[in-house]
Amino acid sequence: MATSPASHHSEAVAARAESRWAWFVGAVIGLLLVMIAFTSLHWVMMPTKRIETINPSTLHLQGEFVEGNLGSAVEPDGSVTVRVLGQQYSFTPQCIVVPAGTPVRFRVTSADVIHGFLITETNVNVMLEPGYISTFDTTFKQPGDHVMPCHEYCSVGHAGMWARVKVVDRDTFFKQAQSARRQSCVPH
Ligand code: CUA
């Protein structure tokens, strides 16, 4: 079967389009590989500047994670710091109260194994690692109730490890804060 000049022409167009796409896809893959190589090397050469360590075996005896110091506290600049301890299989405190529309910094650590720290419907999501203090800064937009499940398998009781987070309005929170240095709520 003889091919006409017209079909010759369209074959050439198709071949050119195919090779253009092949180059394009190849370039995208190449770019991704370069990004992976760059970020890996960058992280290896520039370890994170701020690593806070803590001795997990003396958490309950001394330092900022002693029981009386857990929960929400107002800082001199009007922001709020929440200290939380995770252990198999619960968080302390079991119910956390924070104000809406205020910068909140979480400082969390684990007394035993790796746990996950996540507050539903927010961007709060970090790992709790024994020996390290994890921090997370956020601002809760509006009052409401959230749950805080452990999201890292931490042995048999993992599924039952969770706490509550109560976001209350700013005024209510700061009024309560005048009478208590650390705040937490009663889970119900
Ligand atoms: Cu703690 Cu899973």
Average pLDDT across each block of 10 residues of the chain; the chain has 188 residues. List them in order. Answer: 70 93 97 95 75 88 90 90 95 94 94 94 92 93 95 94 94 87 72
Q: Identify the pLDDT of residue 4.
A: 66
Q: Identify the pLDDT of residue 37.
A: 95
Ligand 1 centre distance from Cα of residue 22 (Å): 46
Q: Identify the pLDDT of residue 185.
A: 81
Ligand 1, closest atom to CA 86? 1
Burial of 88 (0-12, 13-18, 19+ CB in 10 A): middle
- Where do runs of H (alpha helix) occur along the chain? 5-45, 170-177
Query: Residue 132: which residues within 8 A CB-CB, separation 6 or more?
Result: 51, 52, 53, 54, 109
Pocket of ligand 1 (CB under 6 A): 89, 115, 150, 152-154, 158, 161
Ligand 1 centre distance from Cα of residue 46 (Å): 30
Q: Identify the pLDDT of residue 51.
A: 83
Give whole-number Cα distances, 161 to 56, 87, 117, 118, 154, in Å.
Answer: 19, 9, 10, 12, 9
The length of the chain is: 188
Ligand 1 centre distance from Cα of residue 131 (Å): 16
**Atom 1 in ligand 1: residue holding the nearest Cα:** 115
Q: 144: phi > 0 → left, psi -120 to 50 → alpha, else beta; which?
A: left
Ligand 1, closest atom to CA 159? 2
Ligand 1, closest atom to CA 161? 1
CB–CB of 76/102 below 8 Å? no
Ligand 1 centre distance from Cα of residue 117 (Å): 9
Among 74, 73, 106, 75, CA closest to 91? 106
CB–CB of 150/185 below 8 Å? no
CB burial readout 95-120, b (16+ within 10 A) else e: bbbbbbebebebbbbbbbbebbbbbe
Q: How many CA atoms lie less than 13 Å away from 163 in the CB half-sphere?
A: 25
- For 147, phi then psi, to 5°, come to -110, 155
CB–CB of 125/145 below 8 Å? no
Q: Identify the pLDDT of residue 46.
A: 72
Ligand 1, closest atom to CA 89? 1
Ligand 1 centre distance from Cα of residue 54 (Å): 20
Rounded distance between C-alpha atoms, residue 128 and residue 65, angstroms: 13
